Chains A and B, each alone.
Chain A
Amino acid sequence: MIKSFGWDSVEFLIRGAGWTLLLSLMTFVIGGFFALVFALLRTLGPKPVRVVIAGFIQLVQATPLLIIVFLTFYGLSFVGLHFPPMMAAGLSLAVYTTAFLADIWRGCIEAIPRQQWEAADALALTRAQQLRYVILPQAFKISLGPTVGFMVQIVKNTSVVALIGFVELTRAGQLLNNMTFQPFHVFLTVAAIYFAICYPLSFLSERLKGIRNVRPAH
């Protein structure tokens, strides 16, 4: 069936974009949770735990996202774990996000001067209280810019799960192109929608880098 590109096509793409957003959000929430745990353990955990987490981070960062997606979708089904595309997509993106965000956040925690820990220590705060009241609030402010910047990467990278058949924005574009044979109309619209999602995030990220009012103690 050949149809031509029209408003209903745009509507179809926007529905695809909805799945892109949902997948991005899911990825960010799940990946963000584990990233926080990993960042803390990577900085403060016992040596063996730090080594294992550092290994995980390096391994994932050195693996193309697409390979992680294929491993989750095809690889795991080979050993009897059959995930539907949505689950496989969410899982692989969460693993990917965990590795990158954990590293970004670790950097933010380590950017807080040692003297801040010491001052809190001298005031008899426990390790957990030092983190909760002194270190994390400062690290959080520093992390806002790079974190939102990384969200842009997540949104764009969700496109690789089109290859396992999950119908998000890119996959919707492919399907539509197969029906219309108007690749420029279709993919320029797809690109425009990505831009509409990502640009505000990039803009926000730049703004957040500007307003951080944390000046590390001398």
Chain B
Amino acid sequence: MSALHINEIKKYFGSLLVLDGVSLDIAQSEVVAVIGRSGSGKSTMLRCINGLEKIQSGSIEVAGHRIGPQGGDLRSLRKEVGMVFQSYNLFPHLTVLENVTLAPKVVKGVDREEAEEIAHEVLRRVGLAEKSGAYADELSGGQQQRVAIARSLAMQPKVMLFDEVTSALDPELTGEVLKTMEELADAGMTMVLVTHEMGFARQVADRTVFMHKGKIWEQGASEDVFANPQTPELRNFIAPNLK
């Protein structure tokens, strides 16, 4: 059963075509890495999946919810599709615990006690159980990003989207975030991750999708894509990373 089905979507920014008929099917528990140069449309595609960007044609079905050019029931969709951003975007006026409990309480109407129970559980999963009283600016970038993952997990999503989540981090902090993501992948989470971490994509993603000029240019099992790229564009793109 497919958890995510993207069907021929097109997206324009003004007159600029950024997604040119992208189609993609992702199975339950599959981990898909999306790679490509800046401007290839990879982040835009990810943002279309939970409706942060509107599509102009085509359709998307994710976790049983449908989006078309007219939009869709984005609230129900977002309850089941989590997103983690490059810049963490924690709520700076709330503690870690409050960040994580906010959506379950407000959106799902979970009572405080249960929300906190869930929060402690997901914070433990990302290795930050002891930080629940801290504010975002008291945490390192890597810790903030792990809280952001926990915040998303607390909604018990069926699919998680990761938008270059390690790109803003110092190199020595990316490891802890990638480890958290790997554990999620191992636990069977369906994940789509836009990433520049080629090593991680190759090692953790079941499949890697290479985007170029708003299209899916090449895709396949991660190991094959990296070991045996078919198109000159992909070869050029991954060559510097293989050194």
Contact = CB atoms under 8 A, between A and B. Distances in A.
Nearest to A123: B103
B93 A124 contact: no
A64 interface: no
Interface residues of A, number: 23
B85 A124 contact: no
B102 A121 contact: no
B91 to A, nearest CB: 6
B107 interface: yes
A115 interface: yes
Contacts of B211: none
Interface in A123-147: 123-126, 129, 133-134, 137-138, 141
Judged by DSSP, the binding face of A is: helix
Interface in B60-106: 74-76, 78-79, 82-83, 85, 87-93, 102-103, 106
Interface in A85-126: 115-116, 118-126
Interface residues of B, number: 28
A214 interface: yes
Contact of A124 (B78, B90, B136, B137): B78
A216 B107 CA distance: 24
B150 interface: no
A138 to B, nearest CB: 5
Contacts of B103: 123-125
Interface in B153-212: 155, 168
Given A119-B89, A123-B78, A217-B92, A129 B106 contact: yes
A132 B79 CA distance: 19
B50 interface: yes
Nearest to B81: A122
B112 to A, nearest CB: 14
A53 B55 CA distance: 32
B82 A116 contact: no
Contacts of B136: 215, 217
Contacts of B74: 124
Contacts of B93: 137-138, 141, 214
Best-surrounded residue of A119, A121, A137, A214 (most CB of chain B within 10 A): A119
A115 B92 CA distance: 12
B78 A119 contact: no
A118 B89 contact: yes
A212 to B, nearest CB: 10
B134 interface: no
Given A121-B52, A122-B52, A123-B151, A115 B78 contact: no
Given A138-B92, A138-B93, A217 B83 contact: no
Nearest to B76: A124
A109 B158 CA distance: 33
Contacts of A122: 50, 52, 78, 82-83, 85, 152
Given A124-B107, A216-B92, 16 more contacts: A116-B91, A118-B85, A119-B90, A121-B52, A122-B50, A122-B152, A123-B107, A123-B155, A124-B76, A129-B107, A213-B135, A217-B88, A217-B89, A217-B90, A217-B136, A218-B168
25 contacts: A115-B87, A115-B89, A118-B52, A118-B85, A118-B89, A119-B85, A120-B91, A121-B52, A121-B78, A122-B52, A122-B85, A122-B152, A123-B103, A124-B75, A124-B103, A124-B107, A125-B103, A133-B106, A134-B91, A138-B91, A138-B93, A213-B135, A217-B89, A217-B90, A218-B87
Interface of B: 50, 52, 74-76, 78-79, 82-83, 85, 87-93, 102-103, 106-107, 135-137, 151-152, 155, 168
